[in-house]
Amino acid sequence: RRATLYIPVAVHFPTGSESDRSCLEAHAQTQIDVINADYTKTNADHASNWAAAQSHYPNTTPGSVDVKFCIATKNHPTVSPAIADGNLAVTIGSQSGSYASTDVNTTWAGYMNFVIKNAGDGILGYSPLGGSISGGQCVVMNFGSYGTGSGCTGFVPQAPYNLGRTVTHELGHFYNLDHTFNGGCTGPNDNVADTPAVANATYGTPAPGSVAGCVAGEKALTMNYMDYVNDSHMYMFSAGQATRMEAYFATVASDWKQ
C-alpha cells in the first residue's frame, strides 16, 4: 500500500477581516483536526459508538484512508496580499471577488481548497463529485458549518452542525463518494457494496438500526458521513467507501502541490 498521502490545504475566508487573522488561523485548524481524525478513523466518537451499533450492520466494516491534511506553508507566490513561505495558506478578505461567482481558484490549484462563504440560504456546504485538484476546484462551506468551537466574528459554528462534519461530508463528495441514499431503492445507489441501500436521507439523531433499508432486514447506515444526520450522529466511512476514495487518490496522485 502507498505511504501516507499528505494533503496540502488552503483555507479561504473571502469575507473575513485581516485584523482577525490569528483567530481565523486557529479556527481554520480546528477543522483540519476533525478531518484528520475522521479520515483515519481515530475520531473518539467512532470508538465510543460503533461497538454498540455494529450488530445492526453485519455486512459493513468501518473504513479509513491513510491521509494527513495540513494547512500548507509552502505558498503560492502571486497572491495579494502575498503569503510568504512559512506562513499558513489562509487567505482573508482580499480575494472576495474571485469567490463570489465561482468556486474555482486556479491560483491555488494543487491545494485542497476550502472556501467559507455564503453558500445559499439553508445550505451547509457543497462540493463537486470527483473534484479537480489540478483545476483548482474548491469545497464550499457556509459560515456556520466550518470548524468547531467558538469560531471568530462572522464564522461561528452553528449547532447541530458545529462539529466539523460538513467538511468531512463534502470532502467525501470531492473524493468521489455519493450519498448513501443516492438513487433511493433503485439502480447502483452509491456504487459502494457495504453501505446498505436506503430510500431516503435521514436527518437528526436516529438510534443505530432504527431506519429500515431497502432490502428486508437491512438497516440504513445513518451514522455514515455521507448521510444527512446531525454532526453528533455521524462518525464513520465504510471500507467500501475508503476503497473508492483510494481509487480517486490514485488518479490525482501527481496533481498535489509538493
**Of residues 233-252, those binding ligand ARG (CB under 6 A):** 234
Stretch that binds ligand ARG, among 15-23, 77-85, 124-132, 151-159 (CB under 6 A): 124-132
Sign of the Cα torsion 167, 116, 163, 33 reads positive
Q: Judged by CB under 6 A, which of 228, 239, 248, 257 binds ligand ARG?
A: 228
Say whether residue 195 binds Ca ion (CB under 5 A).
yes
- Catalytic status, residue 170: yes
Say whether residue 192 binds Ca ion (CB under 5 A).
yes
Site string for ligand ARG, 140-169 (x = CB under 6 A): ---------------------x---xx--x
Stretch that binds Ca ion, among 85-93, 95-103, 140-148, 184-192 (CB under 5 A): 184-192
Shortest Å, Cβ 169 to ligand ARG: 4
- Residues making contact with ligand ARG (CB under 6 A): 124-126, 161, 165-166, 169-170, 228-231, 234
- Residues making contact with Ca ion (CB under 5 A): 189-190, 192, 195
